[in-house]
Amino acid sequence: MSPAKKRAADDHPKVSLCVDDASAPMGPALLSLSDFAPQKHTRFALYRAPSNDAGDGTSSEATLDDRLLLEGSTDVMQYTSTNWGWGASAQAAADLRRETRGYTGDYLIGAYDKEKKQVTFRVAPLFTLNRSVKSLAHLSASATEHGAQDNMDYTRARRDLGEAFGNKKQKQAARNLDRMKVNTENMDGILEHVASGIDVSASSLPTDLELNATLNTSRALPQAHLDASEPADVYPLASLVPPTVLNALHTRHLLKCSSQSDLAKALRLTSSPWLLPRMWQIVQTAQNDAGMSRAMELVRVGYYVAILLAFRKHARGLSRGDDGMSQVAHKMRLPEHEKDIVMEHLVSQYAEQARSSHRYAMTAIGDTRLFASIIVLALHLEEFSLASDVLAQELCVTTQRVNEILRSLGCTSSQSTKHGVDGDGAASQQQQRKWHLRLPLSFPNQRKRGPARR
Protein backbone atom coordinates (compact mmCIF):
# COMPACT_ATOMS: atom_id res chain seq x y z
CA MET A 1 0.00 0.00 0.00
CA SER A 2 1.31 3.42 -0.88
CA PRO A 3 1.96 5.93 1.95
CA ALA A 4 -0.84 8.20 0.69
CA LYS A 5 -3.40 5.45 0.75
CA LYS A 6 -2.25 4.27 4.22
CA ARG A 7 -2.55 7.79 5.62
CA ALA A 8 -6.12 8.12 4.18
CA ALA A 9 -7.14 4.84 5.73
CA ASP A 10 -5.83 5.92 9.14
CA ASP A 11 -7.82 9.16 8.94
CA HIS A 12 -11.06 7.20 8.32
CA PRO A 13 -11.82 5.30 11.56
CA LYS A 14 -13.00 1.69 11.59
CA VAL A 15 -16.67 1.32 12.54
CA SER A 16 -18.06 -1.62 14.50
CA LEU A 17 -21.75 -2.18 15.25
CA CYS A 18 -23.05 -2.97 18.71
CA VAL A 19 -26.71 -3.27 19.75
CA ASP A 20 -27.56 -2.86 23.42
CA ASP A 21 -29.74 -5.34 25.30
CA ALA A 22 -33.39 -4.31 25.64
CA SER A 23 -33.22 -4.83 29.42
CA ALA A 24 -30.36 -2.32 29.77
CA PRO A 25 -31.07 1.20 31.09
CA MET A 26 -32.93 3.17 28.47
CA GLY A 27 -31.31 6.06 26.65
CA PRO A 28 -32.92 8.52 24.26
CA ALA A 29 -36.58 8.33 23.17
CA LEU A 30 -38.51 9.22 20.01
CA LEU A 31 -41.74 11.21 19.74
CA SER A 32 -44.62 10.81 17.29
CA LEU A 33 -46.56 14.06 16.76
CA SER A 34 -49.61 14.04 14.52
CA ASP A 35 -50.45 17.68 13.72
CA PHE A 36 -48.68 19.80 16.34
CA ALA A 37 -45.20 20.54 17.64
CA PRO A 38 -44.38 21.30 21.31
CA GLN A 39 -42.77 24.56 22.20
CA LYS A 40 -38.99 24.66 22.04
CA HIS A 41 -38.37 24.93 25.76
CA THR A 42 -40.88 22.27 26.83
CA ARG A 43 -39.33 19.93 29.37
CA PHE A 44 -40.38 16.27 29.42
CA ALA A 45 -40.19 13.76 32.26
CA LEU A 46 -40.22 9.98 31.94
CA TYR A 47 -42.10 7.96 34.58
CA ARG A 48 -41.84 4.24 35.03
CA ALA A 49 -43.83 1.49 36.75
CA PRO A 50 -42.05 -1.90 37.00
CA SER A 51 -43.94 -4.60 35.12
CA ASN A 52 -42.34 -7.41 37.12
CA ASP A 53 -43.95 -7.63 40.56
CA ALA A 54 -41.26 -10.00 41.74
CA GLY A 55 -38.58 -7.32 41.48
CA ASP A 56 -37.38 -5.35 44.44
CA GLY A 57 -38.05 -2.02 42.71
CA THR A 58 -34.79 -0.50 43.97
CA SER A 59 -33.49 0.41 40.51
CA SER A 60 -34.47 3.85 39.30
CA GLU A 61 -33.31 3.29 35.73
CA ALA A 62 -36.14 2.92 33.18
CA THR A 63 -35.92 -0.03 30.79
CA LEU A 64 -38.02 -1.32 27.94
CA ASP A 65 -39.46 -3.95 30.29
CA ASP A 66 -41.30 -1.25 32.30
CA ARG A 67 -44.57 0.57 31.81
CA LEU A 68 -43.56 4.05 30.72
CA LEU A 69 -45.25 7.44 30.66
CA LEU A 70 -43.75 10.49 28.99
CA GLU A 71 -45.18 13.76 30.24
CA GLY A 72 -44.40 17.36 29.39
CA SER A 73 -46.05 20.66 30.17
CA THR A 74 -45.88 24.39 29.70
CA ASP A 75 -47.90 27.17 31.28
CA VAL A 76 -50.68 26.55 28.76
CA MET A 77 -50.40 23.04 27.29
CA GLN A 78 -50.13 19.53 28.69
CA TYR A 79 -48.49 16.70 26.66
CA THR A 80 -49.00 13.05 27.65
CA SER A 81 -48.02 9.78 25.97
CA THR A 82 -50.68 7.08 25.42
CA ASN A 83 -48.99 4.00 23.95
CA TRP A 84 -46.61 2.55 26.56
CA GLY A 85 -48.96 1.13 29.16
CA TRP A 86 -49.82 -2.49 29.86
CA GLY A 87 -48.56 -4.86 27.15
CA ALA A 88 -45.96 -2.54 25.62
CA SER A 89 -42.92 -4.03 27.36
CA ALA A 90 -40.39 -6.15 25.51
CA GLN A 91 -41.50 -9.24 27.45
CA ALA A 92 -45.10 -9.08 26.18
CA ALA A 93 -46.40 -11.18 23.28
CA ALA A 94 -45.70 -9.84 19.81
CA ASP A 95 -49.35 -9.22 18.87
CA LEU A 96 -50.15 -7.57 22.22
CA ARG A 97 -47.00 -5.45 22.05
CA ARG A 98 -47.82 -4.36 18.50
CA GLU A 99 -51.40 -3.43 19.43
CA THR A 100 -50.35 -1.45 22.55
CA ARG A 101 -47.41 0.40 21.08
CA GLY A 102 -49.06 1.11 17.75
CA TYR A 103 -46.08 -0.01 15.68
CA THR A 104 -44.14 -3.17 14.88
CA GLY A 105 -40.47 -3.95 15.40
CA ASP A 106 -38.10 -1.61 17.24
CA TYR A 107 -36.63 1.80 16.56
CA LEU A 108 -32.81 2.08 16.85
CA ILE A 109 -30.71 5.20 17.53
CA GLY A 110 -27.00 5.07 16.63
CA ALA A 111 -24.35 6.89 18.75
CA TYR A 112 -20.79 7.23 17.55
CA ASP A 113 -17.96 7.03 20.14
CA LYS A 114 -14.86 8.90 18.90
CA GLU A 115 -12.50 7.23 21.36
CA LYS A 116 -13.61 3.64 20.68
CA LYS A 117 -14.34 4.45 17.04
CA GLN A 118 -17.56 2.42 17.03
CA VAL A 119 -21.26 3.02 16.51
CA THR A 120 -23.62 1.75 19.22
CA PHE A 121 -27.25 1.20 18.31
CA ARG A 122 -29.68 1.52 21.19
CA VAL A 123 -33.33 0.44 21.18
CA ALA A 124 -35.47 3.57 21.68
CA PRO A 125 -39.20 3.66 22.47
CA LEU A 126 -41.52 5.70 20.27
CA PHE A 127 -44.06 7.69 22.30
CA THR A 128 -47.32 8.94 20.77
CA LEU A 129 -48.22 12.28 22.37
CA ASN A 130 -51.61 13.85 22.93
CA ARG A 131 -52.04 17.46 23.96
CA SER A 132 -54.65 19.23 26.08
CA VAL A 133 -55.24 22.75 27.37
CA LYS A 134 -54.70 23.03 31.13
CA SER A 135 -57.37 25.70 31.71
CA LEU A 136 -60.05 23.45 30.11
CA ALA A 137 -59.22 20.27 32.02
CA HIS A 138 -61.79 20.91 34.76
CA LEU A 139 -64.66 21.51 32.31
CA SER A 140 -65.16 17.86 31.40
CA ALA A 141 -65.94 16.84 34.98
CA SER A 142 -68.24 19.79 35.57
CA ALA A 143 -70.06 19.20 32.29
CA THR A 144 -70.73 15.61 33.24
CA GLU A 145 -71.93 16.55 36.69
CA HIS A 146 -74.07 19.57 35.87
CA GLY A 147 -74.94 19.05 32.20
CA ALA A 148 -78.16 17.15 32.77
CA GLN A 149 -79.35 19.55 35.46
CA ASP A 150 -78.53 22.63 33.34
CA ASN A 151 -80.42 21.14 30.41
CA MET A 152 -83.41 20.48 32.61
CA ASP A 153 -83.36 24.04 33.96
CA TYR A 154 -83.10 25.44 30.45
CA THR A 155 -86.05 23.35 29.26
CA ARG A 156 -88.15 24.39 32.25
CA ALA A 157 -87.35 28.09 31.74
CA ARG A 158 -88.19 27.85 28.06
CA ARG A 159 -91.48 26.18 28.92
CA ASP A 160 -92.39 28.96 31.35
CA LEU A 161 -91.63 31.60 28.72
CA GLY A 162 -93.77 29.76 26.22
CA GLU A 163 -96.70 29.61 28.62
CA ALA A 164 -96.40 33.33 29.36
CA PHE A 165 -95.63 34.83 25.96
CA GLY A 166 -96.01 32.03 23.40
CA ASN A 167 -98.72 31.70 20.80
CA LYS A 168 -101.37 28.99 20.65
CA LYS A 169 -99.22 26.66 18.55
CA GLN A 170 -96.28 26.82 20.96
CA LYS A 171 -98.49 26.19 23.97
CA GLN A 172 -100.08 23.18 22.28
CA ALA A 173 -96.63 21.78 21.45
CA ALA A 174 -95.60 22.14 25.11
CA ARG A 175 -98.74 20.30 26.29
CA ASN A 176 -98.07 17.52 23.77
CA LEU A 177 -94.56 17.22 25.13
CA ASP A 178 -95.93 16.84 28.66
CA ARG A 179 -98.26 14.07 27.57
CA MET A 180 -95.37 12.16 26.01
CA LYS A 181 -93.30 12.14 29.19
CA VAL A 182 -92.83 8.75 30.87
CA ASN A 183 -92.66 8.39 34.63
CA THR A 184 -89.66 6.17 35.34
CA GLU A 185 -90.04 5.98 39.11
CA ASN A 186 -92.00 2.71 39.01
CA MET A 187 -90.02 1.11 36.17
CA ASP A 188 -88.39 -1.48 38.47
CA GLY A 189 -91.76 -2.95 39.39
CA ILE A 190 -92.88 -2.89 35.77
CA LEU A 191 -89.70 -4.68 34.65
CA GLU A 192 -90.24 -7.40 37.23
CA HIS A 193 -93.81 -7.84 36.00
CA VAL A 194 -92.63 -8.02 32.38
CA ALA A 195 -89.92 -10.56 33.26
CA SER A 196 -92.41 -12.78 35.07
CA GLY A 197 -94.75 -12.56 32.09
CA ILE A 198 -91.95 -13.63 29.77
CA ASP A 199 -91.25 -16.68 31.94
CA VAL A 200 -94.94 -17.66 31.89
CA SER A 201 -95.16 -17.21 28.12
CA ALA A 202 -91.93 -19.12 27.52
CA SER A 203 -93.27 -22.13 29.42
CA SER A 204 -95.96 -22.58 26.75
CA LEU A 205 -93.55 -22.48 23.80
CA PRO A 206 -93.31 -25.71 21.77
CA THR A 207 -90.38 -28.05 22.33
CA ASP A 208 -87.84 -29.03 19.69
CA LEU A 209 -89.69 -32.27 19.00
CA GLU A 210 -92.97 -30.44 18.53
CA LEU A 211 -91.34 -27.91 16.20
CA ASN A 212 -89.78 -30.70 14.12
CA ALA A 213 -93.14 -32.46 13.92
CA THR A 214 -94.83 -29.26 12.75
CA LEU A 215 -92.14 -28.65 10.13
CA ASN A 216 -92.41 -32.22 8.85
CA THR A 217 -96.15 -31.93 8.42
CA SER A 218 -95.73 -28.70 6.44
CA ARG A 219 -93.04 -30.12 4.16
CA ALA A 220 -93.94 -30.55 0.51
CA LEU A 221 -91.61 -33.56 0.16
CA PRO A 222 -91.88 -36.80 2.17
CA GLN A 223 -89.60 -37.05 5.16
CA ALA A 224 -86.56 -39.26 4.60
CA HIS A 225 -85.46 -41.73 7.27
CA LEU A 226 -81.70 -41.15 7.27
CA ASP A 227 -81.00 -44.12 9.56
CA ALA A 228 -82.55 -46.62 7.10
CA SER A 229 -80.49 -49.66 6.09
CA GLU A 230 -82.46 -50.45 2.90
CA PRO A 231 -83.76 -48.16 0.13
CA ALA A 232 -87.31 -49.34 0.82
CA ASP A 233 -87.05 -48.04 4.39
CA VAL A 234 -86.00 -44.51 3.39
CA TYR A 235 -89.56 -43.64 2.34
CA PRO A 236 -91.66 -46.50 3.73
CA LEU A 237 -95.06 -47.17 2.22
CA ALA A 238 -96.77 -46.69 5.59
CA SER A 239 -95.68 -43.02 5.60
CA LEU A 240 -97.08 -42.45 2.08
CA VAL A 241 -100.39 -44.27 2.29
CA PRO A 242 -102.01 -45.58 5.50
CA PRO A 243 -102.34 -49.39 5.63
CA THR A 244 -106.10 -49.03 6.22
CA VAL A 245 -106.49 -47.21 2.90
CA LEU A 246 -104.17 -49.60 1.05
CA ASN A 247 -105.99 -52.67 2.37
CA ALA A 248 -109.38 -51.15 1.52
CA LEU A 249 -108.53 -51.16 -2.18
CA HIS A 250 -110.03 -54.12 -4.08
CA THR A 251 -107.41 -55.39 -6.50
CA ARG A 252 -108.43 -59.03 -7.03
CA HIS A 253 -110.24 -58.14 -10.25
CA LEU A 254 -106.93 -56.92 -11.70
CA LEU A 255 -105.56 -60.46 -11.60
CA LYS A 256 -108.38 -61.62 -13.90
CA CYS A 257 -107.23 -59.37 -16.76
CA SER A 258 -105.99 -61.33 -19.76
CA SER A 259 -104.49 -58.44 -21.74
CA GLN A 260 -103.03 -55.02 -21.26
CA SER A 261 -106.15 -53.39 -22.70
CA ASP A 262 -108.32 -55.18 -20.12
CA LEU A 263 -105.98 -53.92 -17.40
CA ALA A 264 -106.32 -50.37 -18.75
CA LYS A 265 -110.10 -50.56 -18.40
CA ALA A 266 -109.80 -51.96 -14.87
CA LEU A 267 -107.41 -49.18 -13.87
CA ARG A 268 -109.59 -46.57 -15.63
CA LEU A 269 -106.60 -45.38 -17.68
CA THR A 270 -107.00 -44.01 -21.19
CA SER A 271 -103.34 -43.47 -22.13
CA SER A 272 -100.43 -44.38 -19.89
CA PRO A 273 -96.88 -44.58 -21.27
CA TRP A 274 -95.36 -45.72 -17.96
CA LEU A 275 -97.87 -47.02 -15.38
CA LEU A 276 -99.86 -49.36 -17.63
CA PRO A 277 -96.87 -51.33 -19.03
CA ARG A 278 -95.31 -51.54 -15.57
CA MET A 279 -98.58 -52.65 -13.97
CA TRP A 280 -99.05 -55.32 -16.65
CA GLN A 281 -95.65 -56.79 -15.73
CA ILE A 282 -96.54 -56.76 -12.02
CA VAL A 283 -99.98 -58.33 -12.65
CA GLN A 284 -98.42 -61.10 -14.75
CA THR A 285 -95.94 -61.81 -11.96
CA ALA A 286 -98.78 -61.99 -9.41
CA GLN A 287 -100.83 -64.26 -11.72
CA ASN A 288 -97.97 -66.74 -12.06
CA ASP A 289 -97.45 -66.88 -8.31
CA ALA A 290 -100.67 -65.96 -6.52
CA GLY A 291 -99.13 -66.54 -3.09
CA MET A 292 -96.37 -63.99 -3.61
CA SER A 293 -97.10 -61.24 -1.06
CA ARG A 294 -94.59 -58.78 -2.54
CA ALA A 295 -96.26 -58.94 -5.96
CA MET A 296 -99.72 -58.42 -4.45
CA GLU A 297 -98.42 -55.44 -2.48
CA LEU A 298 -97.03 -53.89 -5.67
CA VAL A 299 -100.41 -54.46 -7.37
CA ARG A 300 -102.15 -52.48 -4.64
CA VAL A 301 -99.47 -49.75 -4.79
CA GLY A 302 -99.84 -49.48 -8.57
CA TYR A 303 -103.64 -49.29 -8.23
CA TYR A 304 -103.21 -46.51 -5.65
CA VAL A 305 -100.86 -44.63 -8.02
CA ALA A 306 -103.58 -44.80 -10.69
CA ILE A 307 -105.99 -43.23 -8.19
CA LEU A 308 -103.46 -40.46 -7.43
CA LEU A 309 -103.01 -39.73 -11.14
CA ALA A 310 -106.78 -39.42 -11.57
CA PHE A 311 -107.07 -37.21 -8.48
CA ARG A 312 -104.29 -34.93 -9.75
CA LYS A 313 -106.17 -34.59 -13.03
CA HIS A 314 -109.51 -33.62 -11.47
CA ALA A 315 -108.40 -31.98 -8.16
CA ARG A 316 -109.36 -28.49 -9.33
CA GLY A 317 -113.02 -29.45 -9.07
CA LEU A 318 -112.82 -29.60 -5.27
CA SER A 319 -113.52 -25.88 -4.93
CA ARG A 320 -116.56 -25.91 -7.25
CA GLY A 321 -119.63 -26.02 -5.04
CA ASP A 322 -120.28 -27.65 -1.70
CA ASP A 323 -120.34 -31.13 -3.25
CA GLY A 324 -116.90 -30.79 -4.85
CA MET A 325 -115.65 -34.05 -3.31
CA SER A 326 -118.52 -36.10 -4.76
CA GLN A 327 -118.03 -34.49 -8.18
CA VAL A 328 -114.32 -35.30 -8.20
CA ALA A 329 -115.03 -38.87 -7.02
CA HIS A 330 -117.55 -39.25 -9.87
CA LYS A 331 -115.02 -38.01 -12.45
CA MET A 332 -112.42 -40.38 -11.04
CA ARG A 333 -114.95 -43.24 -11.39
CA LEU A 334 -114.22 -44.60 -7.95
CA PRO A 335 -116.27 -47.63 -6.85
CA GLU A 336 -118.82 -47.10 -4.10
CA HIS A 337 -116.98 -49.28 -1.61
CA GLU A 338 -113.78 -47.21 -2.06
CA LYS A 339 -115.10 -43.72 -2.63
CA ASP A 340 -115.55 -42.50 0.95
CA ILE A 341 -112.33 -43.74 2.52
CA VAL A 342 -110.21 -42.82 -0.49
CA MET A 343 -111.60 -39.28 -0.89
CA GLU A 344 -111.30 -38.53 2.84
CA HIS A 345 -107.67 -39.62 2.73
CA LEU A 346 -106.86 -37.64 -0.44
CA VAL A 347 -108.36 -34.33 0.70
CA SER A 348 -106.83 -34.58 4.18
CA GLN A 349 -103.40 -35.37 2.74
CA TYR A 350 -103.15 -33.14 -0.33
CA ALA A 351 -105.88 -30.46 -0.12
CA GLU A 352 -106.62 -27.64 2.30
CA GLN A 353 -110.00 -26.62 3.67
CA ALA A 354 -111.00 -23.04 3.00
CA ARG A 355 -111.44 -20.84 6.05
CA SER A 356 -115.00 -20.73 7.44
CA SER A 357 -116.16 -23.08 4.69
CA HIS A 358 -116.65 -26.78 3.99
CA ARG A 359 -114.97 -26.57 0.60
CA TYR A 360 -111.52 -27.93 -0.12
CA ALA A 361 -108.98 -26.43 -2.48
CA MET A 362 -105.78 -27.69 -4.08
CA THR A 363 -102.86 -25.38 -3.24
CA ALA A 364 -99.37 -25.24 -4.71
CA ILE A 365 -97.90 -27.01 -1.67
CA GLY A 366 -100.52 -29.73 -1.90
CA ASP A 367 -99.86 -30.21 -5.61
CA THR A 368 -96.12 -30.52 -4.98
CA ARG A 369 -96.75 -32.98 -2.14
CA LEU A 370 -98.98 -35.07 -4.44
CA PHE A 371 -96.41 -34.86 -7.22
CA ALA A 372 -93.61 -36.03 -4.91
CA SER A 373 -95.74 -38.86 -3.47
CA ILE A 374 -96.38 -40.21 -6.98
CA ILE A 375 -92.64 -40.16 -7.73
CA VAL A 376 -91.73 -41.95 -4.48
CA LEU A 377 -94.38 -44.63 -5.13
CA ALA A 378 -93.01 -44.95 -8.66
CA LEU A 379 -89.59 -45.66 -7.15
CA HIS A 380 -91.17 -48.51 -5.13
CA LEU A 381 -92.79 -49.91 -8.27
CA GLU A 382 -89.56 -49.71 -10.26
CA GLU A 383 -87.40 -51.27 -7.53
CA PHE A 384 -85.78 -47.85 -6.92
CA SER A 385 -84.36 -47.45 -10.43
CA LEU A 386 -86.51 -45.10 -12.48
CA ALA A 387 -86.36 -43.48 -15.93
CA SER A 388 -87.49 -39.89 -15.51
CA ASP A 389 -88.42 -39.16 -19.15
CA VAL A 390 -91.15 -41.83 -19.28
CA LEU A 391 -92.55 -40.74 -15.90
CA ALA A 392 -92.58 -37.10 -17.09
CA GLN A 393 -94.77 -38.15 -20.04
CA GLU A 394 -97.11 -39.91 -17.61
CA LEU A 395 -97.40 -36.80 -15.43
CA CYS A 396 -97.56 -34.37 -18.39
CA VAL A 397 -94.66 -32.29 -17.06
CA THR A 398 -91.12 -31.58 -18.20
CA THR A 399 -88.33 -34.03 -17.50
CA GLN A 400 -86.44 -31.28 -15.68
CA ARG A 401 -89.12 -30.98 -13.01
CA VAL A 402 -89.11 -34.72 -12.38
CA ASN A 403 -85.31 -34.66 -12.17
CA GLU A 404 -85.43 -31.84 -9.59
CA ILE A 405 -87.82 -33.79 -7.35
CA LEU A 406 -85.74 -36.97 -7.67
CA ARG A 407 -82.58 -35.03 -6.81
CA SER A 408 -84.31 -33.47 -3.77
CA LEU A 409 -85.38 -36.94 -2.62
CA GLY A 410 -81.73 -38.05 -2.50
CA CYS A 411 -81.53 -39.95 -5.78
CA THR A 412 -78.50 -40.07 -8.06
CA SER A 413 -78.54 -40.47 -11.86
CA SER A 414 -76.52 -42.51 -14.33
CA GLN A 415 -76.60 -43.27 -18.05
CA SER A 416 -77.85 -46.68 -19.17
CA THR A 417 -78.38 -48.38 -22.53
CA LYS A 418 -81.93 -49.34 -23.49
CA HIS A 419 -82.20 -52.24 -25.91
CA GLY A 420 -85.23 -52.57 -28.20
CA VAL A 421 -86.53 -53.28 -31.67
CA ASP A 422 -87.28 -50.62 -34.27
CA GLY A 423 -90.14 -50.59 -36.78
CA ASP A 424 -88.27 -52.78 -39.25
CA GLY A 425 -87.61 -55.45 -36.66
CA ALA A 426 -83.94 -54.63 -36.25
CA ALA A 427 -82.29 -54.41 -32.86
CA SER A 428 -81.71 -50.87 -31.58
CA GLN A 429 -79.90 -49.27 -28.68
CA GLN A 430 -80.80 -46.01 -26.99
CA GLN A 431 -79.06 -44.09 -24.20
CA GLN A 432 -81.35 -43.42 -21.24
CA ARG A 433 -80.79 -41.62 -17.94
CA LYS A 434 -82.00 -43.49 -14.86
CA TRP A 435 -82.31 -42.32 -11.28
CA HIS A 436 -81.43 -44.62 -8.39
CA LEU A 437 -82.24 -44.41 -4.70
CA ARG A 438 -79.10 -45.73 -3.04
CA LEU A 439 -77.54 -45.54 0.39
CA PRO A 440 -76.04 -43.32 1.58
CA LEU A 441 -78.37 -40.65 0.27
CA SER A 442 -76.99 -37.73 -1.70
CA PHE A 443 -78.95 -34.51 -1.25
CA PRO A 444 -78.24 -31.37 -3.31
CA ASN A 445 -76.38 -28.50 -1.69
CA GLN A 446 -78.33 -25.39 -0.74
CA ARG A 447 -77.73 -22.54 -3.13
CA LYS A 448 -76.45 -19.36 -1.51
CA ARG A 449 -77.75 -16.18 -3.01
CA GLY A 450 -75.53 -13.19 -3.38
CA PRO A 451 -76.36 -9.69 -2.22
CA ALA A 452 -79.34 -8.02 -3.82
CA ARG A 453 -78.59 -5.85 -6.79
CA ARG A 454 -79.26 -2.16 -6.39
Q: What is the mean pLDDT of the chain?
A: 80
Rounded to an integer, the average pLDDT of 378-392 is 92
pLDDT digits (tens, 9 = 90+) for 250-279: 888 898 899 999 999 999 888 889 999 999
pLDDT at 142 over 60: no
Contact in structure between 70 and 166 (CB atoms under 8 Å): no
What is the reported pTM? 0.53
Where residue 174 falls among pLDDT bands split at 50, 70, 90? confident
Task: Determine the Cα–Cα distance for residues 363 and 218; give it in Å rounded to an integer.
Answer: 12
Beta strands at 118-124 and 67-73: parallel, antiparallel or unpaired:
unpaired
Where residue 299 falls among pLDDT bands split at 50, 70, 90? very high
pLDDT at 450 over 70: no
Where residue 54 falls among pLDDT bands split at 50, 70, 90? very low
pLDDT digits (tens, 9 = 90+) for 300-323: 999 999 999 999 998 888 877 667
Where residue 398 falls among pLDDT bands split at 50, 70, 90? very high
Rounded to an integer, the average pLDDT of 73-97 is 82
